[in-house]
Amino acid sequence: MPDLLDAIQKRRSIRKYQKHEVPKELVEAVLAAAGWAPSAHNAQPWRFIILADSSVKRKLALAMVGAWAADMAYDSVTIDEQKRAAKFERFANAPVLILACLTMEGMQKFSDKKRQKCERDLAMQSLGAAIENLLLTAHIKGLGACWFCAPSFCKDKVKKVLKIPAEIEPQALVALGYPAESPPIPAKKTLGECCFLNTWGNKLV
């Protein structure tokens, strides 16, 4: 089994998958790992919906692609049928989709908007940590995964298709399956480009 640093460095965003089904126990393993992420107040403000049924995946994909095309139209960008089909197939044909949702249940309640926003920021950071745990565990287990932010642009559509309660907020979609591609190492910023010592602008290296 690879060590943590090895897994971090070798994990890739996988968008093409083999047709093999993902065993239920592997799906549960990556979800269990997500649940071990740190969270503000230990509120664990994440909820996950696992989509394995092809008809549900296709219905969700159709709704999201329609919302995406409508959103692009605001910028006078026309999405042709080929691009629509490519987007649709990306989600509809993934062996498993995991919808990551945000809940404010368990987070602290404040009367002022400033602290309310801070609490939401804490919840979002917590959800991000859970998704990262999920992605790394998927890689270690021999699976490929890709984190998509598409639900953030069409939350109402996603909620309607999946019958999500009003107080739960869809945030991200993780596609999961056995890899059918080996993407190259992506460009990464150096420590000198993104890290500072003591004050902003004082480069670490």
Domain boundaries, the chain: 4-182
pLDDT of residue 85: 86
pLDDT of residue 2: 59
Residue pLDDT, tens place only, 40-55: 999 999 999 999 999 9
Residue pLDDT, tens place only, 7-38: 999 999 999 999 999 999 999 999 999 999 99
Strand partners, 177: 144
* CA distance to 12, 27, 59, 86, per residue, from 161 (Å): 29, 22, 7, 20
- The HSE-up count of residue 79 (CA atoms within 13 Å, CB side) is 17
Average pLDDT in the 125-140 region? Answer: 98
pLDDT of residue 72: 83
End-to-end CA distance of the chain: 32
pLDDT of residue 45: 98
User: pLDDT band at 1, cuts 50/70/90?
Assistant: low
pLDDT of residue 35: 98
* Cβ count near 104 (within 10 Å): 17
pLDDT of residue 73: 82
Share of the chain above pLDDT 70, in %: 99
Q: Is the pLDDT of residue 177 over 90?
A: yes
Location of structure tokens 């249940």: 105
**Residue type at 184 in one-letter notation:** P
Q: What is the pTM of this model?
A: 0.94
Residue pLDDT, tens place only, 52-76: 999 999 999 999 998 888 888 888 8
Residue pLDDT, tens place only, 133-156: 999 999 999 999 999 999 999 999
Q: Dig out the tokens for 104 from the structure.
A: 């404010």
Q: Dig out the tokens for 145 from the structure.
A: 């995964």
In the sheet where 96-102 sits, what is the strand order? 46-51, 96-102, 169-177, 144-148
Average pLDDT in the 166-193 region? Answer: 96
Q: Is the pLDDT of residue 97 over 90?
A: yes
Between 78 and 142, the higher pLDDT residue: 142
Regarding the domain with residue range 4-182, which homologous superfamily does it belong to in the CATH classification? NADH Oxidase (3.40.109.10)
Lowest mean pLDDT among 71-85, 99-113, 125-139, 188-202: 71-85
The C-alpha atoms of residue 13 and residue 180 are separated, in whole angstroms, by: 12
